[in-house]
Amino acid sequence: MSGLRAFFAGFVDRNGLPVAIYLGLAVTIWVFLLVALPQLAMLDFSFRHNLPPSKMGGPEDVYTLEQYRYFFLGSEIGGGDWNALDIGVLFKTLLAAVAVTLIDLAICYPVAYLLAHSARGAAGRLMVLALIVPFWVNEILRAFAFRILFGATGVINEAGMAMGLWSAPIDFVGEDVALYAGLSYAYILLMIFPLYNAIESLDRNQIEAARDMGASRIQVHWKVVIPYAKPGIASGSTMVFMLTAGALAAPQILGGPSNLWFTQIVYQWFNDGGNWPRGSAYAIVLLAVCIGFVMLMMRVFRVSIGAIGR
Amino acid sequence: MTKGPALLLPVLYLALFFAYLFGPLAIMAITAFNSAGFPRVSPWECLTFGWFGKLAQDTRLLEGIGNSLIIGVGVVLIAVPIGLAAALTLSQVGPRLRASLYTVFIAPILVPGVVIGLSTLIFWDRLGAMIGADYDTLFYDGIFLTIAGQVTFIAAYSMLVFLSRISRFDPTLTEAALDMGATPTQAFVKVLLPFMAPAIASAAVLAFLASMENYNTTVFTVVAESTFTTVLASKVRYGLDPSISAVAVIIVAFTLIAATVFEMGKRRQTRAASGLLALDRPVLRLIAHPLFVAGLMAALVGGVVWTGANHDSSVCEMQVLDDKRAVQERLEQERRERIEALTPAPSAPSAPTQSAPGGAFAPGSLAPGGSAPSPAPSPAPAPAPSAPGGAFVPGALAPGGAFAPGGLAPSGSVDN
């Protein structure tokens, strides 16, 4: 306790009282009022029954596991079977997010490497600018662009049929091709910049040395560049994975009619279903599973969370 | 000798990559100028600027943009100071506390936007219910909730911007100020803040843009209001329309202009730093000046807008409609001939259509022509030669697009 007081005394001493108050207040408001308490409120809400406002706080307003039970086992009428639909959608969402992450990693690694080690001066700056420009267009318009591209009368279908590659329009939207392409596109930037930052700080002499020792091009990447860029890869992959798993707009616009993204189920419980506690429970499930998965991957690949965001 | 292919491959890859990056946007931009009612490049109908005009009259969209601007300004005003405070706090604590604080601060970026949105919604709703607030108070106000929700993670973006700037700060500057008798507050205001000014500017721009384009969080917190993105999303989900492409064109144009001006400014700075500013060539100097470039761009945009406002595509559009109607009539004709070819004999002229057999006369396939069928009881029609089997199945007509219900609607209205 005295250590804490000494810390605050030092904090005030160093910054002066007004600045110390500003720093403390801003960080406290952020961490508690905006981040922690809302999450706790949601957690609390997910353990409640779906009651009309008049009954909230009344005798019926007790804690329950009903909403989670529903996620795992489905409605009571269905009997003790697993809720295959919702669990299936969750797994499919995770799998798709992993796939999109890997696609982005594969696409972005060469670009980041070239950007970091070949492009210099004005050319490099121009490339960075060219990377950023498409991402000022918002997520919905990007998804819309892919809808135009992949639709039944879209450019790809028209071109393919004109060249005689296929004769009837291919349902790219229904086959989820449009969704995967759109999602990979949406988060490219979040993959490139962490990779770029990591690779850029690699001393070029290390690559030269490896080449001098007889390493092939692939060996240079596999044994020198990639191990060095591991924090960047982890950072980019985590962000792409989390954002893809939590994406809502792209699946709404590009998803086929039979395809559901887990966030869409959450959205449905909230808006169409009017069942906030169940929506909260589903959101908690999504959050927990995603964080668990990221933690597991970090353990497997031995990266610390401090690497994220750099 | 090995240099050739070794250089070619990366260039090819980059070309492909940037094609992937810009291709979809370019195609979307082109559809904004096609008069076809569905956003597409081919078949090309007429060059039109009408979709932009339609945009300017879209009151829902304009209202959404207005709300988005308010929210964006609110987010900048709150998120940037929070991000700065977080970065400064991180720079002052010991390494162990720093690591755990960093994890806490970075978490909002990784939490799905959907989760942030609905947790914010629930929290303020519960809080409002707890103190018995009315529904028209802050706790249920879409704009306030959206600002709160967006600040949650945009503050973390700002923090990252400040962290990268602060790592280059020389703390001896503050020490020097303190030694000269400045109070810590003065040192903060006169030394640290000016040093952070560029980062504050870029954090503000970033926060504003992030706020403008956010959807996942906003769609939950906005409640009964609407923002730019939620209006766009509902437009996209309930019917595609080239005016959405027109929105994208405007955004891309703005972005490209801003990027060009920014790049010119940057070049000027680097030249000035290396003493290469073309002092002896005033014309070149003027042309390369960012303000001049901005003016040029503004003039260009003005010219395009003026052209667009004066461009009249109605003649061409009428032409396309007439073409469509001609094709339609030709098909009608062919079908009629076919019907007559199938009817057994002209000996029973009283009820030719009733005796028509088979599914070829499904009501759907006849419906469009229903308004103007000429009786045409010509006795011996030649069996429609080029119309085998499935030509009259409704689906077979769809790929051309011109015969989709939407494609016909305008011609009907002209008829009446």
Question: What residues does each domain of chain B span?
Answer: 10-45, 54-239, 313-340+399-407
Note the pLDDT of residue B354: 43
In percent, the amount of chain B with pLDDT more than 90 equals: 9
What is the pLDDT averaged over residues B128-139? 78
Would you say A309 and B159 are in contact if contact means Cβ atoms under 8 Å apart?
no
**Angle, helices B95-110/A230-245, rounded to nearest 10 degrees:** 40
**Inter-chain touch B152–A30, beta carbons under 8 Å:** yes
Note the pLDDT of residue B360: 41
Q: Which residue has the tokens 């998965």?
A: A293
CA of A61 vs chain B CAs: smallest distance (Å): 13
pLDDT band, residue B81 (cuts 50/70/90): very high
The architecture (CATH level 2) of B54-239 comes to Orthogonal Bundle (1.10)
Q: What is the pLDDT of residues A188-218, one digit of tens each?
A: 888 888 888 888 888 778 888 888 887 777 8
Residue A302 phi/psi, 5-degree rounding, is 55, 60
Would you say B214 and B150 are in contact if contact means Cβ atoms under 8 Å apart?
yes
**Inter-chain touch A239–B38, beta carbons under 8 Å:** no
What is the pLDDT averaged over residues B289-298? 77
Q: What is the pLDDT of residues B100-129, one digit of tens each?
A: 888 888 888 888 888 899 899 888 888 888
Q: Is A161 exposed, middle or buried (CB count within 10 Å of its CB: 0-12, 13-18, 19+)?
A: middle
For the four alpha carbons of B169, B170, B173 and B178, in that order, the dihedral sign comes to: positive
Tokens of A212: 């001098």
Note the pLDDT of residue B147: 92
In the predicted model, is pLDDT for residue B75 greater than 90?
yes
**Closest residue of chain A to B217, computed from CA coordinates:** A248
Note the pLDDT of residue B80: 93
The architecture (CATH level 2) of A84-307 comes to Orthogonal Bundle (1.10)
Q: What is the pLDDT of residues B5-56, one digit of tens each?
A: 567 888 888 888 888 888 888 888 888 787 776 777 766 777 777 777 777 7
Indicate whether this complex's ipTM tops 0.90. Answer: no
Low-confidence stretches of chain A (pLDDT beneath 70): 1-4, 53-60, 74-82, 119-121, 174, 256-258, 305-310
- In three state form, how does the secondary structure of A172-184 look? CCCCCHHHHHHHH
What is the pLDDT averaged over residues B81-86? 92
In the predicted model, is pLDDT for residue B403 greater than 50?
no
Note the pLDDT of residue A269: 83
As beta bridge partners, residue B34 has B47
Note the pLDDT of residue B210: 87
Residue B14 CB neighbour total at 10 angstroms: 18
Note the pLDDT of residue B413: 35
Of the candidates B184, B194, B158, the one whose C-alpha atom is nearest the C-alpha of residue A26 is B158
* Chain B (22-41) residues lying within 8 Å, Cβ to Cβ, of chain A: 22-25, 27-28, 31, 38-41
Higher pLDDT, B389 or A175: A175
Least confident of A116-120, B1-5, B322-326: B1-5
Note the pLDDT of residue B13: 87
Note the pLDDT of residue B70: 92
Q: List chain B residues with CB under 8 Å of A286.
A: 112, 114-115
Q: What is the pLDDT of residues A174-190, one digit of tens each?
A: 677 888 888 888 888 88
Using CB atoms, pick whichever of A158, A243, A249 lies closest to residue B233.
A249
- Mutant choice from B2, B84, B123 vs A, greatest count of A C-beta within 10 A: B123
Higher pLDDT, B72 or A67: B72
What is the pLDDT averaged over residues B170-183? 83
- Mutant choice from A27, A120, A304 vs B, greatest count of B C-beta within 10 A: A27
**Closest residue of chain B to A138, computed from CA coordinates:** B213
- Mutant choice from A40, A44, A115, A137 vs B, greatest count of B C-beta within 10 A: A137
Q: List chain A residues with CB under 8 Å of B265.
A: none
pLDDT band, residue B379 (cuts 50/70/90): very low
**Closest residue of chain A to B215, computed from CA coordinates:** A249
In the predicted model, is pLDDT for residue B389 greater than 50?
no
Using CB atoms, pick whichever of A42, A126, A308 lies closest to residue B118.
A42
